[in-house]
Amino acid sequence: MQLFTIETGNFKLDGGAMFGVVPKSIWQKTNPADENNLCSLAMRSLLIEDGDRLILVDTGIGNKQSDKFFSYYHLHGGYSLDSSLNSHGLSKDDITDVFLTHLHLDHVGGAVERNEDNLTPTFRNATYWSNEKHWDWALHANDREKASFLKENILPLQESGQLKFIKEEFSPFGDDLQIRFTYGHTEAMMLPLIKYKNQTIVFAADLFPTLGHLPVPYVASYDIFPLTAMEEKKKFLQEAFDNNYILLLEHDALNECISLVETEKGFRAGDIFRLSDL
């Protein structure tokens, strides 16, 4: 097995939305904001090469929406999904599986592309993986979350026949890639736990979007069930520390991978490094 970071580009979100009730004077130490109170965030995917399978975890925001849409998110940086795949000698047609942690637009937008007037799966040879609970949640979105669930990012996957569902506590990828379901950020978000070079790499998705979200009370306003998210974070941090997990941070623009140390204030980042350093 080999793992590769796939950078799909950066975007910006409001710092207050990213940290909820935490004061700016505290969160800006790890996530500095610009003059408009916007924080720069990565949209970092993970590529897993395992035998004859190439599994892409999340896809970034994509490029099919309007200029007005993208003006809300301030895309920047020199990376794209295509260029990152190409840097490893790969193209979109090489991907065999696309694992979607959840269906918010910054995670699934790149899963579908526009071909003239048609919307089709970006990865035409891939199986797309979600789960039934989250799929139903996204298609019948609540008023709070519906702006993040765009049907043009979702329905073409099912219409193509390329969509399959993962059942809880069962991984279709073998023993080296286990899946953890969480319910605080959104209904049934899935986190991959990957055994790699005698260590466990956790693709942290939006349970820990950035290093600044390690403190248990630091939950985003985007989390639909914040108390559940806090409890999940608390339990998972202890498990990760006890088992020396490495967290791969999907949205931290500066920090890619971290280990954990225990402090008087709780678990914090220990070593900070790139996946390629392992």
Distance, in Å, from the CA atom of 69 to the CA atom of 92, rounded to the nearest integer, reads 24
Helix 132-139, helix 151-159: angle, nearest 10: 130
Q: Please give the torsion angle defined by the CA atoms of residues 76, 77, 82 and 86, in that order, rounded to the nearest 10 degrees.
A: 170
Neighbours of 197 (CB within 10 A): 10
Radius of gyration of the chain (CA): 18
Domain count, the chain: 1
Which residue segment(s) compose the domain that 50 sits in?
A: 2-277
The structure's pTM equals: 0.96
CATH of the domain at 248: 3.60.15.10
Question: Would you say 191 and 101 are in contact if contact means Cβ atoms under 8 Å apart?
Answer: yes
Per-residue pLDDT of the chain (278 residues; tens, 9 = 90+): 999 999 999 999 999 999 999 999 999 999 999 999 999 999 999 999 999 999 999 999 999 999 999 999 999 998 999 999 999 999 999 999 999 999 999 999 999 999 888 999 999 999 999 999 999 999 999 999 999 999 999 999 999 999 999 998 778 998 999 999 999 999 999 999 999 999 999 999 999 999 999 999 999 999 999 999 999 999 999 999 999 999 999 999 999 999 999 999 999 999 999 999 99
